[in-house]
Amino acid sequence: MDDRICKIPSGCGVSGIISKNGNLFSGERIILSICNMVERGNGLGSGFAGYGIYPEFSDKWCFHIMYNSEKDIETCEDYLEANFEIIHSESIPTNKNHKLKNIPIMWRYFLKIKEEKINEEAKSTEEDFIVKTVMFINKKIESAFVISSGKNMGIFKGVGNPDEIADFFKIYDYKGYLWISHNRFPTNTVGWWGGAHPFGILNWAVVHNGEISSYGINRRYLENFGYYCTLFTDTEVITYLFDLLYRKHKIDFETIGNILASPFWFQIERIEDENCKNFLKSLRIIYGPGLINGPFGIIVANSEYMVGLNDRIKLRPLVAGEDEDFYYLSSEESAIRIISKDLKNVYEIEAGKPVIFKIKWQK
Amino acid sequence: MAKVKKISEFVVDRDLEKCIKCQACVRMCSNDVHIYDEEFDIVRNDNSKCVGCHFCESICPTEAIEIKRNTSDIKENYHWKKEYIVDIQKQAETGGVILTGMGCDKHYKNYFDHILLNASQVTNPSIDPLREPMELKTFIGRKPDRIEYEFKNGNLILKTKIPPQLELETPIMFSAMSFGSISLNAMKSLAKAAKDFGTYWNTGEGGLPEELYEYADRCIVQVASGRFGVNIDYLEKAGAIEIKIGQGAKPGIGGHLPGEKVTEQISKTRMIPEGTDALSPAPHHDIYSIEDLKQLIFALKEATSYKKPVGVKIAAVHNVAPIASGIVRAGVDYIVIDGVRGGTGAAPKIIRDNVGIPIEIAIAVVDQRLREEGIRNNASIIAAGGFRKSSDVIKAIALGADAVYIGTAALISLGCHLCQKCYTGKCNWGIATQDPYLTKRLNPEIGAKRVYNLLRAWSLEIKEMLGGMGINAIESLRGNREQLRGIDLNEIELKMLGIKHAGEAW
């Protein structure tokens, strides 16, 4: 059986670092952090997302594409050429010295959307076009999968321990201002690299510890809005929900927290401010199918935010902290302590309350 | 020729040693099964009249009565069932259509019995509903696609206006049962239980009796083809308005309440002269197509200033998905689908048992169709037709229903023993009758408590099952077919239901 077609539940470790002022730092720090949570993975998946890693192409859409076989490379590239100017493309550099198995072919493309493509559909934005392109490739081109599709960011992931994956992709050679990473403990064997975390679309990257019991309805809800889950893991729905709510519906992160991990009815009924009560009630009425039920601790990143969120009864750990230059989120405090000597404001984040870290760019 | 003897379905087994000849059964039985023989000072039976309602058995002070199936059987075979033979005999006598009550009782596959639920093990924790909140709150009505709001000087301004919704504390409501088909005391029991629990009851097509005005805000009023009892007060008092196109027990046909049942009270409520037949035409004669339905929907919305949800009830028939889609596009706030097992007070047996499709499949295809068209948010789906237990309810919700209607189950909690003779108007339990001698047997206060208990018990069971799946809000189960698996179903059945077979992982 192609193990890509089944959804693999998993336990996991997650970690994220964001520079307060948007300064670049080496991927070594995130490697050190995630590798300090060995117990949280079992060698069956790990990955990294770095922001600010492609300054030379910072205004171009960067697609990391994973091919399971050579047969579809041409089809996929023809499709890209029909829609984009390919400014630059190359094989993603890797270390050949390793024991990893089932390695797919990995390629990155720096793209500019052909102008006529945007004009074709009057209301369509560049972002909508990218989402449509990614959905098309993932759904229609059998062995090609777009792993990330943002600007000046990229996702690197595969089946292996975090140290192996980091070494394979030479994560230490990249410099970024925001990194998130994942160490995976799936409950059965999986040889498919696309199933590892982070998941991404546009500038979003999501790492997730948990299993989503509401996956069945979250997935069907997203189909209403043109998002199709093709990677067969529940983390994908979180990624698309963030894109739908933040980008398309223009909802702030705090409110997104109230949708994905909504307050209970008894809590809403206790609120005295009628306006606020009505708002929360409306959110639950409208976005009920978007509620994420089941245990989760997630770190979500885009080009200027890192957000942490737990399920509404806090069934997974997630710790926040900061030092002078950085904010941190991690499954375990130990994974932060190992990279920050003067850590302060360390706390377990509250159930259902998002922790939002934003970069203050330095001129 | 020799007269064919009427074969009785039941026999009364009377223990003469226990019988004290108090004659309670003689006085109570509306079917005149028990006869006191003064000459021999003994109570005798006319078994041919017994419907098997067990009322006499329940009231007999010495437990002298037991109702049993008649074992003196005629020779039936796999093709010629006893039921068909008896029906032919009846029709040879009368030349009439055979009537029956309650829902289809035939062998068609019951899909609820072929669906299994999921539970959490290891990778996500199950939740204990006795320790953690477990939410069943449900909203029936049109949902906007998105929210719009802004902050002005630190104040939140909500721009999205939520269309009218019914707010339910549990996703279970009471089906339409009209005044006429059931007694006022039965209606009052349902109405009070609905109000106390925080759900809704339904007038059916027989109007809203004045005595029940205090429960009107928790009531859904029907506008059916006979338009009985429809006036502006009726519409304005209600929580929601439901246009009844069809019902699962008798899709495609109308109704007929015989004149002798149209008492003074019913005549007032239905707004028809006392003693006249109350005829519901098969179609609405102002709705011959979807555009006409749209006009009625909006006429009702206009009449009530867009303040309450307007729904449409249809029977689950072969084209149910496209029909439902059309109805949603016509502007309803909710749609009710009544499956082949849906109940009734009276229907031709041949229709009840042969027309329509199972509710399980109807829910699945309607929910899927509305999602494919991107209009699932536009209307809620209420499923009806044969819900026997809480697991049927939870499975219907996981298939895609927002809530369910229960009718028969609620009546059973009031004493109904499913004798299927509602159409005779002789219900010994005081439910499906207007005879004051019978209706006073049903105390609406006690009745309401029993129906309330049923709602409570099912809700608790649903919470247990939800918690087991690691889900703490019903909206995360709604349409979440990953939590269902089929057993003993073929590929096309699985495809129709949109579920995987037992053993298939995610």
Q: Which helix (H) or strand (E) holds A25?
A: strand A25-26
pLDDT of residue A192 exceeding 90, the answer is no
Pick the residue from chain B with its C-alpha nearest to A281. B162
The per-residue pLDDT for A7 is 46
Q: Which helix (H) or strand (E) holds A51?
A: strand A46-51
> Least CB-CB distance to A217: which of B147, B478, B506?
B478
Q: Do A217 and B376 touch (CB under 8 A)?
A: no
Chain A positions in Cβ-Cβ contact with residue B146 (cut-off 8 Å): 248-249, 286
Query: Average pLDDT, stretch B360-364?
Result: 98
Instruction: Calculate how close chain A gets to B478, using CA atoms only, in Å.
Output: 7
Q: Report which of B384, B407, B388 is spatially closest to residue B320, judged by C-alpha positions.
A: B384
Which of B475, B477, B483, B497 is the mutation pick for testing A, counting most A CBs within 10 A? B475
Distance in Å from the first CA to the final CA of chain B: 68
Q: How confident is the model at residue A5 (pLDDT cuts 50, 70, 90)?
A: very low
Residues 263-322 of A with CB under 8 A from B: 264-266, 275-276, 278-279, 282-289, 291-295, 312-313, 315
Question: Is-contact B432 B101, C-beta < 8 A?
Answer: yes
Q: How confident is the model at residue B6 (pLDDT cuts 50, 70, 90)?
A: confident
Instruction: Calculate how close chain B gets to A235, using CA atoms only, in Å.
Output: 14
Pick the residue from chain A with its C-alpha nearest to B155. A275
Query: Average pLDDT, stretch A311-325?
Result: 95
Give this prediction's pTM: 0.94
In the predicted model, what is the mean pLDDT of chain A? 91
Tokens of residue B385, six digits: 């037709």
Q: Does A42 touch chain B (CB under 8 A)?
A: no
Place of tokens 């997730």: A208
Q: Do A285 and B135 touch (CB under 8 A)?
A: no
Query: Average pLDDT, stretch B399-415?
Result: 98
The per-residue pLDDT for A2 is 42
Question: Is-contact A69 A102, C-beta < 8 A?
Answer: no
pLDDT digits (tens, 9 = 90+) for A236-260: 899 999 999 999 999 999 999 999 9
Residues β-bridged to residue A355: A308
Calpha distance A312→A295 (Å, rounded): 8
Per DSSP, the three-state class of B168 is strand
Residues 43-102 of A with CB under 8 A from B: none
* A198 upstream amide cis, omega within 30 of 0: yes
Tokens of residue B396, six digits: 């219907």
Percent of chain A exceeding pLDDT 90 equals 76
Residues 129-188 of A with CB under 8 A from B: 187
Task: Note if A12 is an active site residue.
Answer: yes
pLDDT of residue A1 exceeding 50, the answer is no
The per-residue pLDDT for A40 is 86
Q: Do A187 and B127 touch (CB under 8 A)?
A: no
